[in-house]
Amino acid sequence: MSTPIDVMDAATLENLLATDGSAVAVLDVRTPAEFESVHIPGSFNLPLDLVAEHAHDVTRKLGKQIVLVCQSGTRASQAQQKLVDMQLETGSVLEGGIAAYEKSGGEVVRGTQRWAMDRQVRMTAGSLVLLGFIGSKLISPKAGYLSAAIGAGLAYSAASNSCAMASMLSKMPWNKVSTEGKTNPLAQIPNAGQLLNPKGK
């Protein structure tokens, strides 16, 4: 059973980071590639599919108020529910995600530019549906089953609040980041009291 989402708007997070960044830890649950493209200074990256596995260690290490961030808020809400299910500190979800944070004028760090995962999913799903429709007209009516399969997959994705297509896309070459010099996902997260400055300095 899902629990009410504790949200924080972009302006509140900006104010917290500007006035007392040591009181809050920003945990970004997008893919490493999305995080590399743009993220809030001083935030930590723990992809959604690793949250359940590392939740106990992460919440223990951070030891303070956590703000969960993704592109639009959906994955951050899923991460919050995982924490609830494990009876851990749930933290707050950044309302509207990093897109809203950036739009409100919040400071971000930019790296190699890639499309956000939800945009990649929309492009891939839309292209496959269109391909199935065209194929059913020009090649064989059976090609229409491709469109039906994508539609069924999207319906299941909404019902289960998961996305197999996003999981597959995250493994594509253009969504890979260099792992040179990096270890496990927890290596970037210091012990409580040793968090880096939210401005990344």
Tokens of 170: 């995250």
**Model confidence over 67-120: pLDDT tens digits?**
999 988 888 988 898 888 887 766 899 999 999 999 999 999 888 777 777 777
Residues 94 and 169 in one domain: no
Give the C-alpha separation, 80 to 138, whole Å: 46
Give the C-alpha separation, 104 to 86, whole Å: 33
Residues 166 and 183 in one domain: no
- Examine the pLDDT at 27 and tell me if it is beyond 80: yes
Considering the domain boundaries, does residue 128 fall inside one? yes
To the question of pTM greater than 0.75 for the whole model, the response is no
Considering the domain boundaries, does residue 61 fall inside one? yes
Per-residue H/E/C for 35-59: HHHEECCCCEECCHHHHHHHHHHHH
CATH number at residue 45: 3.40.250.10
Considering the domain boundaries, does residue 37 fall inside one? yes
The 3-state DSSP class for residue 92 equals strand
**Model confidence over 53-62: pLDDT tens digits?**
887 877 777 7
Q: What is the mean pLDDT of residues 169-178?
A: 72
Are the CB atoms for 102 and 109 separated by under 8 Å? no
Q: Give the pLDDT band (50/70/90) at residue 138.
A: confident
Residues 51 and 102 in one domain: yes
Considering the domain boundaries, does residue 199 fall inside one? no
Residues 29 and 85 in one domain: yes
Residues 184 and 156 in one domain: no
Q: Which of 18-27, 85-94, 114-123, 160-169 has the lowest mean pLDDT?
A: 160-169
**Number of domains making up the chain:** 2
- Examine the pLDDT at 141 and tell me if it is beyond 60: yes
Considering the domain boundaries, does residue 1 fall inside one? no
Considering the domain boundaries, does residue 195 fall inside one? no
Higher pLDDT, 121 or 75: 75
**Structural domain range at position 75:** 7-112+177-188
Residues 76 and 16 in one domain: yes
Please choose, from the candidates 79, 64, 72, 7, the residue with its C-alpha nearest in 3D space to the C-alpha of residue 34: 72
Considering the domain boundaries, does residue 196 fall inside one? no
Considering the domain boundaries, does residue 83 fall inside one? yes
Residues 49 and 84 in one domain: yes
